[in-house]
Amino acid sequence: MTKIWNESGFQNDDPWVIETEDTAAGSNEKPLLPLASFIEKAEAGETGLGVLIQPADNVKALAPYLDSIAMVAVNFPAFNDGRAFSHASLLRERLGYAGELRAVGDVLIDQVPLMLRVGITSFAVANATAISRLEEGRLPGIDNHYQPTARKAADPKSYSWRRVS
């Protein structure tokens, strides 16, 4: 069972559905479309759509549509595939996307703080350990940072590469 979490806690009645050949969004649901399908429908004038970015997708293709995207989901197909971190960072810092950015796929508790730092705002969590820790409010901490990201560190002295005089 997948649960949707953000920093306010677990969310009920999330309307987003990842559309596949076997699954389509119902009348009270909103579709998360593959990149090519999203662009096709956006070009046809459809609005209120979400897009699912796969690791090999070119996220820069979303640039003309950023103002009309209802949500971007970035897929983490395996815990050791970090390309979605790069996609999230590119969307936030270079392309200026300000809407909801969701992590889907293999979302593990140890990676959630890092995902938050690159600008991911919601998480589709299926891992039982991650769900339990999030319910308990037990996120792992990050004491030192190597560089700034979309979400700045609360303590500027935590950047390991900066000299503090």
Give the separation between CA 52 and CA 124, rounded to whole angstroms. 12
- pLDDT tens string for the chain (165 positions)? 789 999 999 999 899 988 887 887 788 889 899 999 999 999 999 888 999 999 999 999 999 999 889 999 999 999 889 899 999 999 999 999 999 999 999 898 988 988 998 999 999 999 999 999 999 988 766 655 455 555 555 555 554 545 444
What structural domains and CATH numbers belong to the chain?
A: 3-158 (3.20.20)
Read off the tokens for 99: 């809407």
- The model scores a pTM over 0.75: yes
Nearest partner of 101 among 28, 93, 109, 26, judged by Cα: 93
Give the separation between CA 4 and CA 153, rounded to whole angstroms. 24
Nearest partner of 144 among 162, 134, 165, 158, judged by Cα: 158
Contacts of 12 (CB under 8 A, 6+ apart): none
